[in-house]
Amino acid sequence: MAMSKTSSQFSAGRTRLIKDRAARFGVTLGGGLVLIALLLIFFYLLYVVLPIFKPASIDEGERYAIPGGNAETIMLGMEARAEVGYRVTADGRFVFFHLRTLDNDRDADSAVKRNAGEILLETSVIHGTSPEVGLSAIARASQATGDYAVGYTNGSALVVRPEFQITYPNDIRSIEPSLTKPYGSEPMVVDSEGASIERLAFERDGESMMFAAVTEDKRLVVSRVTGRQNMMTRRFTWSSQRAEIPVRGEVGELLLTPNLRQLMVQVNGSGDQRVHIFNLQDMNNITESQIISTDGTRGAITSLALLAGESSLMIGHDSGYISQWFEVSGEGERQFQPIRSFNLGAAVVDIVPEQYRRSFYAVADTGEVGIFHTTSNRELFKGNPAGVSVEQAAVGPRANHLVAISDGELHVMTLHNEHPEVSWSGIWGQIWYENYDEPGYTWQSTSGSDNFEPKFSLVPISFGTIKAAFYAMLIAVPIGLAAAVYTAYFMTPALRKVVKPTIEIMEALPTVILGFLAGLWLAPLIENQLPGFVAFMLLLPISILLAAFLWHLLPNDIRNKVTDGRAAMLLIPVVLLIGWGSFAMSDTLELWFFDGDTRGYLTNTLGIDFDQRNALIVGIAMGFAVIPTIFSIAEDAVFSVPKHLSSGSLALGATEWQTLTRVILLTASPGIFSAVMMGLGRAVGETMIVLMATGNTPIMDWNIFEGMRTLSANIAVEMPESEVGSTHYRILFLAAFVLFVFTFAFNTVAEFVRQRLREKYSSL
């Protein structure tokens, strides 16, 4: 029997040892897997985000002799897919050619080889005019229209448009270029005196066109042409207005805005460099709205260009500096002001803007090319692309190919410039956006226009995250901690068994339900009953203190019939009565104090903006969601304080309040601090409540009556509409990365403080 008992004990001990080791291994493995999962999330977010900070690069492609002869190239261009290019020659020819070699191995939907440089179409824009009339100038409209205006030596101009039609003969994709004349084959009169056009600017807005020209006798003339198309014959009937603008000095480059409202004229005076801005809205009264005088230290003006969106004027100098100007409100009118500048390092020969983004390509007289982006204020590339000394360049509509002319050869290069809009200063610094009156922090990722300037500042949505968490914790922390202390220390065990599980069950309530109720029920209620709500918030603590004082005045016989653990239940009717009375008097209070319009009083008299879905609504709803977390952890911490500590304190003559403040709370402080930090983490990461109850306005204002947009809500709203791999998509991942780091930093600090508190008060 003794041997059997010993054997059984040995077997039980070995089983327990195996279980202990298995449990230790399982806990260690689980903790390790959690850490690995966190690291994988961290590095995946970093992997998605890092490409947005890469600089631009240019890879060498193909090179071949310039198609169409040795005539001077006035302009270069290409279609959207960068498969067909074209050049405009000084003798008036548009030469279309295969830009790149494409075959089965390199292009899946092409079944025939297309040799780079092979001419597809060659057509003259002088054909049909009298022999003595020749091409004297050419201008390109904004890249969105794709139109060209060809100026002739007789003072007229013809509008042409390169078009590219995709066909599938024998199931083989083919691009057929053509040069169309969308407004008729007859040139339009620009100068009524018939003088040769030396410089030309052209823009089209709907069925209205504007020509600005410098003639050979140095006159600056402007012609506005408006057409009406016959629906039956498809012919245009034109009406025109012409005006001559007096300018002192030699006229250089001309620019027209696509809305046909402004003309920009470079004038070279005696030792002075100026850009004159003319208002063209009234052709019978053209006025000079501004003269831009550039800093003389930056040298002569060598190039002008309008960026995509046509709001920013870029001015290049022979010193290598390129300055950006756009209109800013001031002194009752909008004026062009210098915003930022870039340095190419050598005299600027040409500025080539991208079609949709605020990137531009500057060509220097040394053959170098600089790639810059205005919004992010980044220098993306500078140097000789693929070792080529560039004389003339063009960028594809999709900004993925660069065509350059150098030493009689055409070079086709591949551009890698996917995320120029992003820079560290652009994300966290103040940026002066086009048509804004001052620099600011702005988030606006999308718009209905292709020429929209994206605004990717994470500051307002990070601020919104902090604001939402602050107001939520302002409500949740006092209520949660007070409830936890009272439940753990004062409440009777029987009542605690009911209250604690009830509050913890609240944590299981879906936050989408809270957001729904906050946005559709609570927000309108508080807006309509704001005086009553404010009165309730002011009267509630006063009523509780008054009820406690009156309870203290009652005879001991009455007070002894209710235990201290249940005395707080008597406050329920007090709270209900004060709430009912406050909201019942709301309309009367509004009439007495705010002349019947509380919202108007806040807005007009106090200057406080009021949005229905605001930080107050978020604070109440999200505080309601956070309270169970804080309550549960803090209550466990207070209740877990050893009873001998409180008993010893009471035995030494301390009151219950002294015991609570000087013994219980200090001992439980690590757990209480953890409860607060867990609640803060829950508030920072909350999505559905702030999504449905804030209005999602990315503004920076501590006003409790205005909304905000948080990082988590912004990701939830915009991720479904972002293109995978786009700048917008990666910025949203950066927002997630910021949120991840934000919560990780909070938790790290919280753990550090908790350990310090634990060490300090563990000796109690």
Task: Give the pLDDT of residue 3.
Answer: 53
Task: Give the pLDDT of residue 6.
Answer: 62
Nearest partner of 600 among 506, 531, 542, judged by Cα: 531
| Sign of the torsion formed by the C-alpha atoms of 467, 471, 476 and 477 | positive
Task: Give the pLDDT of residue 645.
Answer: 84
Task: Give the pLDDT of residue 459.
Answer: 93
Decide the pairing of beta strands 301-306 and 73-78.
unpaired
Residue-wise pLDDT tens digits, 478-508: 999 999 998 888 888 888 888 888 888 888 8
The position carrying tokens 């019978």 is 284
Nearest partner of 288 among 300, 275, 301, judged by Cα: 275
Sheet of 119-124: strand order equals 73-78, 84-89, 93-98, 119-124
Helices (H), 367-522: 424-428, 459-485, 493-506, 511-517
Helix/strand/coil (H, E, C) string of 77-112? EECCCCCEEEEEECCCEEEEEECCCECCCCCCCCCC
Count, in order, helices (H) and strands (E) of the chain.
18, 31
Residue-wise pLDDT tens digits, 608-652: 888 888 889 999 999 889 999 999 999 988 888 888 888 888 888
Averaged in consecutive runs of 10 residues, what is the pLDDT profile of the chain (764 residues)? Answer: 58 79 89 90 92 89 88 90 91 90 55 77 75 82 82 90 88 87 86 88 87 91 83 72 86 89 84 83 88 78 89 90 89 86 92 91 93 92 90 91 91 92 89 90 83 89 92 92 89 85 86 88 89 89 87 78 70 88 87 84 83 88 91 90 84 85 86 88 87 87 89 90 90 92 82 78 62
How far apart are the C-alpha atoms of 486 and 660, rounded to whole Å?
10
Both tokens of residue 300?
Answer: 């002569």
| Sign of the torsion formed by the C-alpha atoms of 116, 121, 122 and 124 | negative
pTM of the model: 0.86
The position carrying tokens 């831009």 is 292
Which residue ranges form the domains of the chain, and what is each CATH number?
A: 125-293 (no CATH), 302-441 (2.130.10.10), 459-761 (1.10.3720.10)
How far apart are the C-alpha atoms of 393 and 362, rounded to whole Å?
9
Q: How many CB atoms lie within 10 A of CB 189?
A: 18
How far apart are the C-alpha atoms of 683 and 619, rounded to whole Å?
10
Give the three-state DSSP class for 237. strand
Q: How many CB atoms lie within 10 A of CB 218?
A: 12
CB-CB contact of 710 with 476 (8 Å): no
